[in-house]
Amino acid sequence: MARPRARPKSIVVLQKDLYLFLVASVRYALGRATYIVGETIDAIVRYWDYLTPEQRKVIHRDIYEELQRADSMNHKLGHQIDHDSWVAIEKSLAQLLKKEEQDNAQRT
């Protein structure tokens, strides 16, 4: 019987695939009340620097718009702890995007 091959601890993922995985995860996790909210937020933070500015804006926009929609209907995204996590990451991403825009404006 053949021995199973050891799996690598890391793999190469194309940047466009990483974006697809992240945006799909965000869209799935918004409104959920499970572990996936925290895992998704951790992944956003971990891989943020690998995304293009346009991709970053899409992820931020998705979170921002869902928070606005929930607020307009007087709802929460998942349980309170999940909602608070989405609010916190949205604010952090908004600040990062603003800083990126300011840095780009100074370069031109």
Q: What total number of domains does the chain contain?
A: 1
Does residue 10 lie within any of the structural domains?
no
Does residue 100 lie within any of the structural domains?
yes
Does residue 20 lie within any of the structural domains?
yes
- DSSP run (H or E) holding 34: none
Does residue 92 lie within any of the structural domains?
yes
Does residue 74 lie within any of the structural domains?
yes
- What is the distance between the alpha carbons of residues 3 and 27, in angstroms, rounded to a whole number? 40
Does residue 4 lie within any of the structural domains?
no
Give the pLDDT score at 32: 94
Does residue 32 lie within any of the structural domains?
yes
| Region for residue 42 given its phi and psi (left: phi exceeds 0; alpha: psi -120 to 50; beta: otherwise) | alpha
Q: List the pLDDT tens digit at each of the 108 positions of the chain.
A: 667 777 778 889 999 999 999 999 999 999 999 899 999 999 999 999 999 999 999 999 999 999 999 999 999 999 999 999 999 999 999 999 999 999 988 887
Give the pLDDT score at 1: 60
pTM of the complete model beyond 0.85: yes
Domain range spanning residue 86? 15-107
Give the pLDDT score at 6: 78
Does residue 3 lie within any of the structural domains?
no
- What is the distance between the alpha carbons of residues 74 and 66, in angstroms, rounded to a whole number? 12
